[in-house]
Structure 1
Amino acid sequence: MAARKVLTRAESQALTREELIEAAERLFYADGYHATSLAAIAAEAGRTIGAVYSNFDRKEDLCLEVLRGWGSKKLSRLATAIASTDGSLEQRLAAIANWWETQLMTENAALILAAEYGISVVRDRDQRAAAVEASERFVETGRVLLLDHLPEGTTYSPEVLEDAVYGVLGTAVGLAVGHVTELSTKDRSTGILIATVEFWLRRLGESIGESEAPARA
């Protein structure tokens, strides 16, 4: 019988942290953010409450880690879906639409958790700052995806790019909220999202001409 590997302190702590995140995800999704306590998460993970506080200062930090992991997986799948196309705008938009319908609109528990978390930290400056920092990856991914549609080496308006990124992301957030509150259907939200992406791609294309036009005297 092979001897069981003895974990280092760092490995043991990393394992504990992973188990706590997985337990928190299960309880947050099943019972909701506000109804889930750190004690319940510790019990679900088979750990002590002290183990929780050794890894996370408070419930908000643990919830943010759950959402960060969920978001990273979704972004990775979006990038993979777009990379699998032939590069045409039509196929890329179709990939985005399929990702939205199969990867986002089927994740009500995660979307509701994100909304609960957002409301809970809106008055907490430090936690709000942490949430903004975590969201920067979504913003950067949006920049990359939009720029990928432009001809290499072209000059575009940075202001229009930022408007495009936040315009698309803001629309997506609103549509996600509308979905979980049953204000809109999946088909309608998909259509609106793709129309928004197309609008900002056109606007970015127009900004190339604007940026390259000679300055007026």
Structure 2
Amino acid sequence: MAARKVLTRAESQARTRDELIEAAEILFYANGYFATSLAAIAAEAGRTIGAVYSNFESKEALCLEVLRGWGNSSLSRLVTAIAAGDGTLDQRRDAISSWWATEMANNRAPMILAAEYAISVIRDPGQRDITIEAVERIVESGRALFLEHLPEGADVTGPLVDSAVRGVLSTGVGLAVGHVAGVMEIDKSVEVLTATMEFWLDRLGAAVREVGRPTD
């Protein structure tokens, strides 16, 4: 019989951290952010409250890790969907539309959690700054995807591209909130997101044409 591997301290801590995040995800999604305590998360993971505080300084920090995991998984699904196509602009737009519809249909719980988390950190400057950093990383991921759709010759470092990326992402956030609030149907959400992307791509294309226009 093979001897059981003894985990190093770092491996043991990483496993504990992962188990706490998994337990937090289960309880946050089932009961909501405000109704879930750190003690309940510790019990769900079979750990002590001390183990929670040795890995996360607060409930907000733990919740942010849950949301980070969901966001990364969601973006990974989008990248996979785009990569599976033929690379044409129409295919990428179809992949994004299909991905968005699927996310809206299947991820109501994490979207509600994200809204609850945002409310919880409004009056916490420290955690709000950490959240802003996390959001900026999402913006950069969104920028990388958006750049693939830009018209040839577009200035990828210009302020108009930054406005386009933030405009599309902000629209997505608003549509997600509208969906979980029950005021935005999925089909309409897809329509609005697609129209927003088309608007910015057309505007960027117009900017490219303007730059290339001969002067008198």
TM-score when scaled to structure 2?
Answer: 0.94
- Do the aligned partners of residues 209 and 156 (structure 1) sit closer, same or farther apart at CA in structure 2, a change above 3 Å counting? farther
Give unmatched runs, 5+ long, in structure 2: none
Percentage of matched positions with identical amino acids: 64
Q: Does 1:79 align with 2:79?
A: yes
Task: Give 1:98-117 correspondences, 5 Å limit.
Answer: 98-117=98-117
Distance 1:158 1:210 in 2: 14
Q: Pick closer, same or farther for the CA change 1:28–1:156 going to 2, 3 Å.
A: closer
Equivalent in the alignment of 1:46:
46
Question: 1:157 and 1:36 mapped to 2: Cα distance?
Answer: 43
The amino acid across from 1:139 in the alignment is V
Q: Which amino acid aligns with 1:184?
A: M
Matches within 5 A, 1:129-208: 129-150=129-150, 154-155=154-155, 158-208=158-208
Query: What TM-score comes out, normalization by structure 1 length?
Result: 0.94
State which drifts further: 19-28 or 140-149.
Answer: 140-149
Contact 1:156-1:207 at 8 Å conserved across structures = no
Corresponding residue for residue 210 of structure 1? 210
Alignment of 1:96 with 2:96, yes or no, is yes
User: Does the aligned pair in 2 maintain the 1:60–1:117 contact within 8 Å?
Assistant: yes
For residues 142-165 of structure 1, what are the alpha-carbon distances to aligned partners after superposition, in whole Å with 9 as ceiling and x for unaligned? 211221123566535711101101
Deviations 1:80-115 (A, max 9, x none): 111112122211111001101112432110000000
The CA distance in 1 between the partners of 2:69 and 2:110, in whole Å, is 11
Question: 1:42-75 deviations in whole A, cap 9, x for unaligned?
Answer: 0000000000000000000000000001100001
Mean Cα deviation higher: 51-60 or 156-165 = 156-165
Task: Give per-residue Cα distances to partners, 1:19-54, cap 9 Å, x unaligned.
Answer: 000000000000100000000000000000000000
> Could you say if the C-alpha distance between residues 200 and 101 of structure 1 is closer, same or farther in structure 2, counting changes exceeding 3 Å?
same
Task: Specify the code of the residue in structure 2 equivalent to 1:74.
Answer: S
Gaps of 5+ in 1: none
For residues 156 and 211 of structure 2, the distance between their equivalents in structure 1, rounded to whole angstroms, comes to 6
Partner secondary structure for residue 123 of structure 2: coil
Q: Supply the distance in 2 between the matched residues of 1:204 and 1:74 (Cα, whole angstroms).
A: 26
* Equivalent pair of 1:27/1:36 in contact (CA under 8 Å): yes
* Two-structure CA RMSD over aligned residues (Å): 1.7
Aligned with 1:123: secondary structure? coil
Give the drift of 1:137: 2.4
Confirm or deny: 8 A CA contact 1:156 1:204 kept in the other structure.
Answer: no
User: How far apart are 1:141 and its partner, in Å?
Assistant: 1.9
CA distance in 2, matches of 1:143, 1:215: 32
Residue 8 to residue 196, structure 1, CA distance change in 2 (3 Å): same
Aligned to 2:22: 22
